[in-house]
Structure 1
């Protein structure tokens, strides 16, 4: 398991003399030299604003077996396949015809509070309520009827009539399957039954950062700092240990709980470095996309850093940094400076942090590791209140009040 970078930061709070030059120019990660490999791009007929990646990647090869299992070919060199069925996950070695049945993922085994059973099936989870739904599926709050533990369960309908692989589903599964970072949402179980995939995930009981912003509006700078440190730890792990680019970082995909823990989630758009070292697809939410992504130009880890800056600015302002209706007209060019006049009421360190994230030239953006040593992070390192106290005092009561008001309105309309 990777050690959070922040544990190595000195506790000195004298940051006034720390020059901007201490944040080195972004390199392609230590010793990492990307090979530019452009892929054929064609418009997505389901959404005129998106582009499908037509490159072939063996990590997305899948099939439905005769027994009804969802099989993902993960490693052609060793012959290992992952099978997901109604009884859970199996790791199959096709060369030796052996397999291992797993009741939970490797990621779940790292959670000290997780109480696994010798055998867990899809029927062990009872739906409590629907949390949300979208084009890709739905999310329910569920309870394991044996252990009484509460989880979030994502449901994906796999359409066998579509020839293309369900890349978003497989990408999310691969990203979370063996993740070992406390700031990445944890995957516990996966099941497949009758053309539907189920992923049992950690439940974050305070919802998303988007929910917090909608309820509270502007979030205090010290509180943003507590969230930011955990986001950076998650990004550093993704970029360095997993070689993953999130590509859809935004308030809705950053989850929090009442213990003050922040986790990155929703990896359906993530890019895995393997045969292809640069991505060019237009995927994700345009409001949080870096300039190179808006132009469908090659992008890498530093595109997530731009998304982080836009997300934190939104948390500070209580609204999007860029007007949603104008985001496609933001034609930033290399050498331009992103206007940040709306942040003038915040500390110089915070303004500098956002400016570093929003460097138009992607190579000038610091890495997540470098940002963990920035003046803004050092400024509030030992400050109070804790994120847990702020959420329980300022957010949770307001959220409960909102729910009661909605119930009352619903009751009156009956």
Structure 2
């Protein structure tokens, strides 16, 4: 049987054997080395896709990456939990609990409507989110296993965080004692430090984008506004969530990794106090309070070390803010390292091996624990502090330190639908910039006082107290 050379301009009339194969894709076959070289130069080099052999590892979804076999929505069964078909909602779609029909693994499936994506001009955000998250392998960052699409939607298959968002947990608890706040703060810092070492700025760090897994450990999520840069590079895109926006963002100045560090300071304050530090009756007033660095009120029971750490981070000048290394080395952090028996050196820049699922385990997986608990199987020392449960783990065991003999365990915890949330979607940057110029002006007419309220409302960037009607982000 005669065969046809893959080089469409081949002049050979009859070919009995195609012995020259493209070494990259192993698909294109040629009658001679000359045809192979000519085809590569003219077209094939622009279309060649390297051959990806299917291994046993790729068939195991728990170790899969985006290079694994192609998936579709039909491969996943939607699970209804607590009479709800959704775990949460976001700006462009929803998140559902699903089970892989092939191996029974449970995942979170983020479903984004293409019409809404195109309407808000966020296609590039979606591409960036997928590109960035597929690179990330860290115990405190949500893992992306697959992505695919159909005619109406784009689907992301993500690691499941059974205990919802840190935002909902803070709202349920009102506020957290310093020793518990440390665990969430420290784990978030580990995730952000990893991103920065990968030259990635998150740009929308907030409790809504920090999830809690089955053991109550932090998982940084939502990379829709994340950006890649260099250690010396800067960005200018206006994005984020008002309560967590740094002064340089609100004043349209270039920014870099210190933008995320500012957010860490806001996060630590909110963990301990239950709300963000900069307040305002209107979005306009709140913006001005951030830009003008209005005086922050601290709880009188807050330790001096915690206050100093927050103050060291929340500096107007990004160059004056503490670096990640300085945060890790702060006296408040060291005090809690000692309490939890943490050796900091063993935590820094821990990137898991691609196929070693067990390395992602931060704390012992107790099958009988369906909700978070800080007090199970713990041993107290003479000072009432709890030691870590396992010395074999490289990551902190989630637990609580005795605080006036009151347990902070939260049994049967579920993410509540009535919690208000902050939405970070921002579009029409020119109009947003015009609004920012308004709040930066020396004079404002009384009738313009609500200008930023209207602007932020129109573009979905309201603070929590103004977002009663908005849905939840997963």
- TM-score, with structure 1 as normaliser: 0.66
Q: Residue 231 of structure 1 contacts residue 264 of structure 1 at CA under 8 Å; is this kept in 2?
A: yes
Offset at residue 169 of structure 1 (A): 0.9
For these two proteins, the number of residue pairs brought into alignment is 306
Offset at residue 127 of structure 1 (A): 1.0
1:377–1:126 CA distance, 2 compared to 1 (3 A): same
Match of 2:35 in 1: none
Q: Is the aligned partner of 1:357 residue 2:313?
A: yes
Q: Deviations over 1:338-374 (max 9, x none)?
A: 6333233211111111111101111011222321111
For residues 182 and 144 of structure 2, the distance between their equivalents in structure 1, rounded to whole angstroms, comes to: 26
Match of 1:219 in 2: 176
Match of 1:58 in 2: none
Q: Is the aligned partner of 1:166 residue 2:126?
A: no
Q: Secondary structure at the match of 2:109?
A: strand
Match of 2:190 in 1: 233
1:163–1:206 CA distance, 2 compared to 1 (3 A): closer
For residues 415 and 86 of structure 2, the distance between their equivalents in structure 1, rounded to whole angstroms, comes to: 19
Quick one: which of 374, 383, 398 aligns to 1:388? 398
Match of 1:330 in 2: 289
More strand by share: 1
Q: Secondary structure at the match of 1:171?
A: helix
Any unmatched runs of 5+ in structure 1? 1-79, 81-92, 404-414
Match of 1:95 in 2: 46
Match of 2:252 in 1: 296
Q: Deviations over 1:233-274 (max 9, x none)?
A: 11111111x211111001100111232321211111112116
Any unmatched runs of 5+ in structure 2? 1-24, 26-43, 80-84, 340-384, 389-396, 402-406, 418-474
Q: Secondary structure at the match of 2:233?
A: coil
Match of 1:379 in 2: 335
Match of 1:207 in 2: 164
Q: Residue 278 of structure 2 contacts residue 296 of structure 2 at CA under 8 Å; is this kept in 1?
A: no
User: RMSD of the alignment, in Å?
Assistant: 3.6
Q: Residue 78 of structure 2 contacts residue 99 of structure 2 at CA under 8 Å; is this kept in 1?
A: yes
Offset at residue 148 of structure 1 (A): 1.2
Quick one: which of 110, 118, 122 aligns to 2:73? 122
Q: Secondary structure at the match of 1:237?
A: helix
Match of 1:342 in 2: 298
Between the two structures, name the one with larger relative contact order (CA 8 Å, sep ≥ 6).
1
Q: Is the aligned partner of 1:279 residue 2:289?
A: no
Offset at residue 297 of structure 1 (A): 1.2
1:110–1:158 CA distance, 2 compared to 1 (3 A): closer
- TM-score, with structure 2 as normaliser: 0.58
For residues 316 and 100 of structure 1, the distance between their equivalents in structure 2, rounded to whole angstroms, comes to: 52
